[in-house]
Amino acid sequence: MHKVDVLLGLQWGDEGKGKVVDVLTPYYDVIARFQGGPNAGHTLEFNDIKHILHTIPSGIFHSSKINLIGNGVVIDPVVFKKETDALEKIGVIPEDTLFISKKAHLILPSHKILDAASEAAKGHTRIGSTLKGIGPTYMDKTGRNGLRVGDILHPDFIVKYTFLKNKHLDILKHYDYQDDPGKYEDDWFRGIEKIRACKLVDSEHFINRMINENKKILAEGAQGTLLDVDFGSYPYVTSSNTICAGACSGLGIAPSRIGEVFGIVKAYCTRVGGGPFPTELHDDTGERLRRQGMEFGSTTGRPRRCGWLDLPALKYSIMINGVTQLIITKADVLTGFDTLKICTAYKSEGEILDHLQLDTAQPLEPVYKEMKGWSEDISKIKDCSDLPAEFMAFINYIEEETGVPVTIISLGPDRKATLFPQNT
Ligand code: GDP
Ligand code: IMO
Ligand code: MG
């Protein structure tokens, strides 16, 4: 029986998960999202077309594959409809291959308003949320007030919707924030009809049946480990477990069923929103990374904060997730830098710290190792043996330091710009 492989981000999100899941989909039967919601923006490129997915798994462009939205995901019907409409325009019909858990929670218009009101009230301590209603929806889930996809099928759905909306309106009275959920309801209920048209399932039974039928399953993470609600840079995190354990609770898979854990890491670091970022660059180098890497949010368009690769943070993420294989993306963006820096430790209060500790009162000052860069255009390379020696030294150093093999190297946004070092 095949085990379930998990692919997840090891930094603050936007590592290139969408691209790599799309590349790996031909090797799997089922692609399953297990947490997060429309705060995610997963970009795929092929045939000179770019697609950004928010809720739908990144296997959707392969028509013979099953895509599953698990119970751990939160769905905004409005975003979901926009996404499916855009796919239908290019001939991809999600209803054919998309299964949705009846236990996945729904984001109401009033959840989004609460998100905005809460962020506005926080002032300069705001998280920098994508304002997609993620926090309030997960709060209602754990508070046992939430509305789930399965509720759509019940005759009292509208009653439940109205009850929850009114609860939110009561909470909103405590905020100095004006907006009316009624304005968004037509679109929201149209989105509900779109969800109803998909295959709504008891996904824990569904996925375990797939496992027993020896199907190959890839669980697709959203966000990244350093945004995990428990292990990330709290409170500057998202509201779900983005780590490997989240795949178990977000799909109903036993831990013993997990196989390979693919950890995706960008060759440098980025972050959108607030919170600590030890290697952040506020200078021309940071600006150059942003420009060369086109580091602007896929969901909000915000400029991403940029900095050098952070090894203690990477080792932390590898430890928490039990990563078995590393996938390095966007190394092509580093082309042309004479010197590359990698953070190997931090200085904090006069001491050297060799492990990540984001909750210290003092900011962490990175200690860097410098490596020689390369100047060749590597984005068209098809064979690992053609990669410059400096590039390989960079990859080998990461492997030596982490003890985890790099099995995939991504050198561009397109499907085709992908190398598998162990196959060459
Ligand atoms: P995700 O959220 O992890 O799926 O990542 P995003 O899609 O938000 O951000 C990654 C961005 O980098 C997207 O614009 C991708 O098209 C692009 N991308 C992915 N892999 C590579 C790569 O290896 N090189 C370059 N230059 N761009 C990449
Ligand atoms: P993908 O899947 C990058 C960040 C937000 C904010 C914090 C909380 O594309 O990698 P939320 O909307 O969840 O309340 O925001 O988390 N964030 C992301 N950053 N990529 C993402 O997803 C993100 N999803 C949330 O910017 O700092
Ligand atoms: Mg993204």
Residue 270 phi/psi, 5-degree rounding, is -135, 160
Taking alpha carbons only, the member of 57, 14, 6 closest to residue 410 is 14
Q: How far is CA 159 from CA 143, 147, 151, 189, in A?
A: 19, 11, 10, 14
Please report the pLDDT score of residue 123 as a whole number.
Answer: 92
Tell me the pLDDT tens digit for each residue of 102-118: 999 999 999 999 999 99
Please report the pLDDT score of residue 373 as a whole number.
Answer: 98
Name residue, tokens 């959108």: 272
Please report the pLDDT score of residue 190 as a whole number.
Answer: 98
**Residue with CA closest to ligand 2 atom 27:** 273
d(C-alpha 134, C-alpha 54), whole Å = 12
Has residue 247 got a pLDDT over 80? yes
256's CB contacts (< 8 A; 6+ apart) are none
Tell me the pLDDT tens digit for each residue of 366-421: 999 999 999 999 999 999 999 999 999 999 999 999 999 999 999 999 999 999 99
**Residue with CA closest to ligand 2 atom 14:** 129
Taking alpha carbons only, the member of 362, 364, 342 closest to residue 353 is 364
Residue 99 bridge partners (DSSP): 68, 199
Residue 213 phi/psi, 5-degree rounding, is -85, 10
348 confidence band (pLDDT: 50, 70, 90): confident
Neighbours of 237 (CB within 10 A): 22
> What number is the average pLDDT over the span 13-26?
98
Active site residue 310: no
Please report the pLDDT score of residue 183 as a whole number.
Answer: 97
Has residue 361 got a pLDDT over 80? no
User: Does the predicted model carry a pTM greater than 0.95?
Assistant: yes
Residue 49 phi/psi, 5-degree rounding, is -115, 140
Strand, coil or helix: 68: strand
294's CB contacts (< 8 A; 6+ apart) are none
Q: To test the ligand 2 pocket, which listed residue (34, 134, 138, 223) has its Cβ within 8 A of the most ligand atoms?
A: 223
Q: To test the ligand 1 pocket, which listed residue (19, 295, 335) has its Cβ within 8 A of the most ligand atoms?
A: 19
* Ligand 1 midpoint to CA 14 (Å): 7
* Ligand 2 midpoint to CA 134 (Å): 9
Has residue 358 got a pLDDT over 90? no
Q: Is the dihedral of CA 95, 98, 99, 102 positive or negative?
A: negative
- What lines the ligand 2 site, CB under 6 Å? 9, 12-14, 36, 39-42, 127-130, 132, 134-135, 222-224, 227, 238, 272-273, 298
Query: Which listed residue (14, 140, 228, 310) is catalytic?
Result: 14
Please report the pLDDT score of residue 244 as a whole number.
Answer: 98
**Residue with CA closest to ligand 2 atom 6:** 129
Has residue 233 got a pLDDT over 90? yes
1 confidence band (pLDDT: 50, 70, 90): confident
Please report the pLDDT score of residue 362 as a whole number.
Answer: 77
Query: Which listed residue (5, 42, 51, 54) is catalytic?
Result: 42
Has residue 299 got a pLDDT over 90? no
Q: Enter the tokens of residue 62.
A: 């392969």
Please report the pLDDT score of residue 300 as a whole number.
Answer: 81
Active site residue 105: no
Answer whether 202's CB lies under 8 Å from 102's CB: yes
Is residue 407 classed exposed, middle or buried when 0-12, 13-18 and 19+ CB atoms within 10 A define those classes? middle
* Ligand 1 midpoint to CA 353 (Å): 31
280's CB contacts (< 8 A; 6+ apart) are 269, 271, 286, 305, 306, 307
* Ligand 3 midpoint to CA 52 (Å): 9
Q: How far is CA 360 from CA 226, 270, 345, in A?
A: 15, 21, 14
Tell me the pLDDT tens digit for each residue of 34-87: 999 999 999 999 999 899 999 999 999 999 999 999 999 999 999 999 999 999
Residue 254 phi/psi, 5-degree rounding, is -70, 145
Please report the pLDDT score of residue 301 as a whole number.
Answer: 86
Q: To test the ligand 2 pocket, which listed residue (15, 51, 139, 238) has its Cβ within 8 A of the most ligand atoms?
A: 238
Please report the pLDDT score of residue 203 as a whole number.
Answer: 96
Has residue 424 got a pLDDT over 60? no
Q: Enter the tokens of residue 33.
A: 């999202």
> What number is the average pLDDT over the span 139-158?
98
pLDDT-above-70 percentage for the chain = 99
350 confidence band (pLDDT: 50, 70, 90): confident
Q: What is the DSSP letter of 405?
A: -
Taking alpha carbons only, the member of 306, 192, 219, 230 closest to residue 34 is 219
**Residue with CA closest to ligand 1 atom 7:** 43
d(C-alpha 380, C-alpha 332), whole Å = 10
Average pLDDT, the chain: 96
d(C-alpha 75, C-alpha 112), whole Å = 12
Task: Name the residue type at position 183.
Answer: K
Please report the pLDDT score of residue 107 as a whole number.
Answer: 98
Please report the pLDDT score of residue 363 as a whole number.
Answer: 84
> What number is the average pLDDT over the span 186-202?
97
Chain mean position to CA 420: 22
Q: Enter the tokens of residue 69.
A: 């939205």
